Amino acid sequence: MITARAWAGKRFAVLGLARSGAATVAALLAGGANVVAWDSDAGVRSQFLPGTGRGTGAAGGGGLPQAASLADSPLHQPAAGPPPRAGEELALADPLTLDLTGFDAVVASPGVPLNRHPITAHAAAARVPVIGDIELFAQARAELPATRVVGITGTNGKSTTTALIHHILATAGVPTLMGGNIGLPILAQDALPHGGVYVLELSSYQIDLTQTLDCDVAVLLNITPDHLDRYDGFAGYAASKARLFAMQALGHAAIIGIADEASSAIARQIARGGRAEAVTRIAPGVCMDQSRWPALQGPHNAQNALAAIAACEALGVSQAAIDAGLASFGGLPHRMQIVGERGGVRFVNDSKATNPTSTAPALQAFDRIHWICGGQAKTDDLDACRPGFANVKRAYTIGDAAVLFERLLTPDMPVEQSGTLDAAVAAAWANAAPGDTILLSPACASFDQYRDFTARGDAFVALVEALA
């Protein structure tokens, strides 16, 4: 794991013990820190309770879930895991009940809403910073072999672009690790050797909890309205994204998609700050031959690929290695994932598309679409999807938004209110002809019917596999 001797003897309170929190506790303990840990979920806390050789102390103690389990748990949600390992000790107590005077930091999960959680004011009263695991990684870099960091943020496309950059680097023979808001928490992974590159997907929540991460290459793909319950309006959300560049040193590369005004404004701000030569702008609508990249179809993936190409060029990767990586990239589950073909009908799992803006590119990537959409709506319109409506043969609405989406779409296309995913797949399969595409791209969150978008996508794949 990644840890730092500089943490020895320091005091940290860790709030939230899902996979990033559990990895944080392990790294701090390995560095010799004194740790108080807490999670609002009693089931998660029970993994850290005393009585099994897992820790001591009046407040309770415990150990940690095995690191191998962490990659399968959601970053921003409580997650169960195997019992803690014996011999790893920490105190178990709610930091809101503690006098935080003398603590060096509260390390909060990205899922803790800083704008309304009382820990923010409680820590401020004690003059204790609230940080996250990415900030701890930034602090640990001084003790690690000399490496570089690529940070990728944006409302849509972060995971695909992060995985693509990581894949191209690996194809080129560059030692690389992927972490942040994707895969295994970065602190749970072994440090890279000299010359390696860390590729970090960074949500706005993670950036909010980071103070000193100096990315050698920082990427902003786009900014569209999302997560506004955590910010003082859209401007506050955009400002969170901009902080990734504010933490960079002069001369470090900034790659920014300028399809939206908020991102364009950030690019202009960086240029005015004396870093004009460091800014690479990714313009919308660039015509590219994507036929050699089977996992990178659609206009949104053209933009993702351009950002990845620019990032790898900034790192000195050869064009031949970049081309090879683009061609061999397999894509990510639940993101424009082609999951099979039955009777000449293609099935595409785009469950990760949880808002209309992220669904829009999928509707433009295929024609003759049977579109399965709906769930827990984030907006009351589908205007962002309208450019792709001509490609839709029929829509099938599901979840809480089934009635709303049927009403919105009926003027433009045939619509069936299916209600559930299994009913929608069955109806789409009955209506589809060879050459058609059955597309799950919900434009909604999943929480009305599924644990998360992954569970929704897995259910779609299982339904496809069960078709005769």
Active site residues: 158, 181, 227
Angle between helices 319-328 and 299-314 (to 10 degrees): 140
Report CA-CA distances (Å) from 229 to 86, 254, 445: 40, 28, 15
Return all residues near 31 (Cβ < 8 A) that are at least 6 apart: 3, 4, 5, 6, 7, 8
The SS3 call for residue 251 is coil
What whole-number distance in Å separates Cα of residue 248 and Cα of residue 304? 22
Closest to 275 (Cα-Cα) out of 237, 236, 240, 247: 247
Please say whether the dihedral angle defined by the alpha carbons of residues 224, 288, 161 and 395, taken in this order, is positive or negative.
positive
Report CA-CA distances (Å) from 180 to 74, 141, 221, 364, 456: 12, 15, 16, 30, 23
Tokens 């400002």 appear where? 239
Rg (CA), the chain: 23
First to last CA, the chain: 46
Phi, psi for 417 (deg, rounded to 5): -85, 100
Return all residues near 268 (Cβ < 8 A) that are at least 6 apart: none
